[in-house]
């Protein structure tokens, strides 16, 4: 364990230059609010994972892990496309609709984040990865949602592994994950705000343009998350483990 901790610490040191070059996160109320939104999503979505997978199994009781993940992909994209289209639909009428669409942008961003967290944790469950520990859950979700930047940092921390999710959830000491999560959290606050502001402005365009931009923009963001999940987790497992908890979720 001592050798593992030291080697992991060395990897964090190696990744530090990339972290230090990241743009500063928004300070003050804006930064604190978004960090609180992330923590709320991590707490709220974790208990829903088993029921979410069970819902997929009720539609196809014989589904393989690959088929379940494909269904989760579709559900996630459909959910965020709907969020974006609704936000854009509010802005169909100029002036008042545009103002209301901008006013609801924060709630839509939080809902999209909830969907991303639930999707990531559900895929982790299909891969038989435990996410009970909040530090490991935080690193997993932020690493995925951050896209290429998060993937690169966690690849460095886990020794250059493309499929870093299992190492994060099972092997890395919590003392190493703390600094990694601090860096990921800082990056996330900055980049998520930038991305959501751009989408909010697009959704607020009148005459139905916002509907298209909102729906398509959210789907593009979701596909980025899906791609990051595929790189982090690797191929789906061949079958289901014979464990009571997962057996119950398949038959619920």
User: Residue 81 has what pLDDT?
Assistant: 79
Predicted TM-score (pTM) above 0.85: no
Please answer whether residues 206 and 94 qualify as being in contact, where contact means their C-beta atoms are separated by less than 8 angstroms.
yes
User: Residue 14 has what pLDDT?
Assistant: 44
User: Residue 109 has what pLDDT?
Assistant: 74
User: Residue 102 has what pLDDT?
Assistant: 46
User: Residue 198 has what pLDDT?
Assistant: 61
Residue with tokens 């619920």: 252
Say if 45 falls within a structural domain. no
**Burial (0-12, 13-18, 19+ Cβ within 10 Å), 131:** buried
Say if 233 falls within a structural domain. yes
Say if 43 falls within a structural domain. no
Residue 64's CB: how many other CB atoms inside 10 A?
15
Say if 50 falls within a structural domain. no
Query: What is the Cα–Cα distance from 87 to 223, expressed in whole angstroms?
Result: 19
Say if 15 falls within a structural domain. no
User: Residue 118 has what pLDDT?
Assistant: 93
Say if 27 falls within a structural domain. no
Please answer whether residues 11 and 175 qualify as being in contact, where contact means their C-beta atoms are separated by less than 8 angstroms.
no
User: Residue 85 has what pLDDT?
Assistant: 56
User: Residue 202 has what pLDDT?
Assistant: 56
Residue in 165, 231, 166, 158 with CA at minimum distance from that of residue 12: 158
Please report, to the nearest 10 degrees, the dihedral formed by the alpha carbons of residues 58, 216, 145, 133 taken in order.
Answer: -30
User: Residue 208 has what pLDDT?
Assistant: 53
User: Residue 199 has what pLDDT?
Assistant: 59
The pLDDT tens digits for 145-172 are 888 888 888 888 888 777 999 999 998 8
Q: What is the DSSP string of 78-97?
A: HHHHHHHHHHHHHTTSTTHH
Q: Can you give 103-115 as a three-state secondary structure string?
A: HCHHHHHHHHHHH
Please answer whether residues 106 and 221 qualify as being in contact, where contact means their C-beta atoms are separated by less than 8 angstroms.
no
Question: Which residues of the chain carry a pLDDT beneath 70?
Answer: 1-34, 84-107, 193-216, 242-252
Give the angle 181-186-190 at the CA atoms, nearest 5°. Answer: 145
Q: Domains in the chain: how many in total?
A: 1
Say if 69 falls within a structural domain. yes
Domain of 76? 59-251
Say if 104 falls within a structural domain. yes
User: Residue 187 has what pLDDT?
Assistant: 82
User: Residue 18 has what pLDDT?
Assistant: 41
């Amino acid at each position: 364990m001592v050798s593992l901790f030291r080697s992991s610490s060395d990897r964090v040191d190696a990744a530090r230059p990339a972290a230090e070059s990241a743009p500063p996160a928004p300070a003050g109320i804006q930064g604190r609010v978004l960090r609180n939104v992330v923590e709320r999503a991590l707490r709220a979505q974790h208990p829903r994972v088993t029921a979410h997978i069970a819902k997929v199994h009720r539609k196809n009781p014989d589904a393989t892990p690959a088929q379940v993940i494909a269904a989760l992909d579709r559900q996630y994209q459909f959910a965020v496309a709907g969020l974006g289209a609704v936000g854009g639909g509010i802005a169909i009428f100029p002036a008042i609709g545009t103002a209301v669409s901008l006013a609801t942008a924060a709630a839509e961003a939080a809902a999209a984040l909830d969907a991303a967290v639930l999707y990531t944790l559900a895929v982790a469950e299909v891969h038989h990865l435990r996410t009970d520990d909040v530090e490991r859950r935080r690193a997993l979700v932020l690493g995925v949602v951050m896209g290429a930047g998060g993937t690169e940092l966690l690849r460095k921390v886990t020794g250059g592994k493309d499929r870093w999710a299992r190492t994060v959830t099972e092997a890395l000491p919590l003392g190493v994950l703390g600094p990694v999560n601090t860096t990921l959290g800082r990056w996330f606050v900055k980049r998520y705000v930038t991305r959501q502001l751009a989408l909010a402005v697009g959704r607020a365009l009148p005459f139905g343009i916002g509907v298209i931009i909102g729906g398509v923009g959210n789907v593009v963001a979701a596909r980025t998350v899906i791609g990051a999940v595929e790189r982090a987790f690797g191929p789906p497992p061949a079958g289901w483990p014979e464990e009571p908890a997962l057996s119950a979720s398949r038959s619920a």
